[in-house]
Amino acid sequence: MANETPSGIGASADLADISFEDALRELEAIVESLEHGDVSLDNAIAAFERGTALKAHCQARLEEARMKVEQIRVPADGGAPESASTFSADE
């Protein structure tokens, strides 16, 4: 297994197309393989770089979700929100 990529998703997969859950699973697989020493040095370096990109992707997705939650308007009486404004990550 020393010459294989440590994740189930190809290392060249575009991060924009990966869900938070898939990115987290891939990151966990990378961490596990690095902890067990299942990869060569070159693959470990590539896996570390991929892991760093996946971590940033997950953090961005979590921040986007946090912003969406903050935009939900909850009435003072604690009832259901009357409306929620749309969120754009570009704002």
**pLDDT band (50, 70, 90) for residue 73:** low
Average of pLDDT values for 47-57? Answer: 95
Q: 68 phi and psi, to 5 degrees?
A: -65, -45
Q: Is the pLDDT of residue 27 over 90?
A: yes
- Pick the closest to residue 39 from 8, 83, 74, 4 (CA basis): 4
pTM, whole model, 2 decimals?
Answer: 0.65
- Pick the closest to residue 4 from 38, 34, 31 (CA basis): 38
